Amino acid sequence: MSVILVVDDKPDNLVTIKALLNHLKPDCEVITALSGQEGIELAHKYKPDTIILDIFMPGMDGYETCKSLKSDPVTANIPILMLTAIKTDTQSRIKGLENGADAFFTKPIDPYELGAQVDVLLRIKQTEDRLRNDKLLLLESVDEKTRALLANEIKLNQIIEGFSIPAFVIDKQHKITHWNQALEKLTALPAAVMKGSSDHWKVMHKEARPLLADLVLDEADEATITKYNIHNWQRSTLQKDALESEKVFLDRYFLERWYYCTAVPFKDENGNITCALQTIQDITKRKETEIELNKHRQKLEELVKERTQQLLDKNEELERMNRLFSGREFRIKELRDRVKELENKIR
């Protein structure tokens, strides 16, 4: 069961949002907090799948709470939907994004928009959790005990072929030694042709250039890695000397596909790198979901701008009418006073 944490300093708002979510998402558990600090504590305790966070709260406001959650490894991967007032300006939204917010929702709350936003964030969280678990399982599978077995070619072959994740291994000469069935299915490049060659670049490129496995094998510096991986890349937080990268490529059908890649070096008992394993996972669906969320966020920004302008126009009209009526009332009072003065003279 997915868990949704709602943080707002106003009890009435919490009751309303919880009731809406219980109706729209009956398969989710909704927990609430009345302050940013309480929200952080509950996030640590329950590890929610999504957090709905109000911006304007006394003490620790939504921005500080969001920044604290996103800077903590325990809660950093939880998507945060920030609730904003209708007059919130673009700079405030930019500030929210800079502090780690994943999406925004504008009050007054539209139940169906809220449900749609929560659905998107829950899907993103589920997808990212699966990727992290797969990565962790992969890295755990190549721990010290497993590495000791890699000297046995049969055992290595069993490990690689057993992966449900597309993967290949290259030796110190950058020759392919293993090319599993999952990678064959992804690329339509048969293992019988690929093994023994240095053509692993064909997975992603039209001409020869290093992949992450090559860079790991050569212990490349950051400048070299950046040169060949102009998209997002980073060093793994789970495995020393391992690299991670996200890239978009054209597949064999000339369609854009997003791939999440990892590369892990294997070393002998003396610490020398002997080969490198690279995995390639198709994350196109997750990226498409993120793109749709961004589009939805832009539409909300436009709606906020439009509604804000409408409010300003109405407010200006009310002020003009107020000035007009105030002037009339003053003139009527003058006439009444003049009439009374004349009446007194007549008497």
CATH of the domain at 191: 3.30.450.20
- Which pLDDT belongs to residue 343? 67
211 is written with which tokens? Answer: 């992949």
Separation of alpha carbons 80 and 200, rounded Å? 39
Q: What is the dihedral of CA 193, 194, 199, 205, to 10 degrees?
A: 90
Partners of 233 in the beta sheet? Answer: 245
Instruction: Report yes or no on 168 lying in a domain.
Output: yes
As a whole number of Å, the end-to-end CA separation of the chain is 88
Domain extent at residue 248: 142-286
Instruction: Report yes or no on 149 lying in a domain.
Output: yes
- Which pLDDT belongs to residue 308? 74
254 is written with which tokens? Answer: 């000339």
Q: Are residues 236 and 211 in the same domain?
A: yes
Q: Are residues 170 and 232 in the same domain?
A: yes
Determine the residue type at 20. L
Q: Are residues 146 and 265 in the same domain?
A: yes
> Torsion-angle region of residue 281: left (phi > 0), alpha (psi -120 to 50) or beta?
beta
Instruction: Report yes or no on 169 lying in a domain.
Output: yes
- Which pLDDT belongs to residue 153? 58
Determine the residue type at 317. E
Instruction: Report yes or no on 344 lying in a domain.
Output: no
195 is written with which tokens? Answer: 């093994």
Which of 132, 154, 173 is at the close of a domain? 132
3-class DSSP assignment, residue 316: helix
Q: Are residues 147 and 65 in the same domain?
A: no
Separation of alpha carbons 181 and 187, rounded Å? 10
Q: Are residues 160 and 281 in the same domain?
A: yes
Q: Are 280 and 164 in contact (CB under 8 A)?
A: no
Number of structural domains, the chain?
2
Q: Are residues 264 and 146 in the same domain?
A: yes
Separation of alpha carbons 191 and 9, rounded Å? 59
Instruction: Report yes or no on 331 lying in a domain.
Output: no
Separation of alpha carbons 244 and 233, rounded Å? 6
Instruction: Report yes or no on 84 lying in a domain.
Output: yes
Which ranges of the chain have pLDDT less than 50?
A: none
Instruction: Report yes or no on 126 lying in a domain.
Output: yes
- Which pLDDT belongs to residue 79? 93
Q: Are 254 and 281 in contact (CB under 8 A)?
A: no
Q: Are residues 92 and 191 in the same domain?
A: no
Instruction: Report yes or no on 154 lying in a domain.
Output: yes
Q: Are residues 148 and 282 in the same domain?
A: yes
Residues near 30 by Cβ (< 8 Å), separated by ≥ 6?
A: 3, 4, 6, 17, 18, 21, 22
3-class DSSP assignment, residue 249: strand
- Which pLDDT belongs to residue 245? 86
Q: Are residues 155 and 282 in the same domain?
A: yes
- Which pLDDT belongs to residue 28? 92
Q: Are residues 218 and 104 in the same domain?
A: no
Handedness of CA 85, 29, 66, 281 (dihedral sign): negative
Q: Are residues 58 and 175 in the same domain?
A: no
CATH code at 79?
3.40.50.2300
Q: Are residues 278 and 153 in the same domain?
A: yes
In 17-57, the DSSP E strands lie at 28-33, 50-54
Which of 268, 286, 304 is at the close of a domain? 286
Which of 286, 311, 342 is at the close of a domain? 286
173 is written with which tokens? Answer: 């000469």
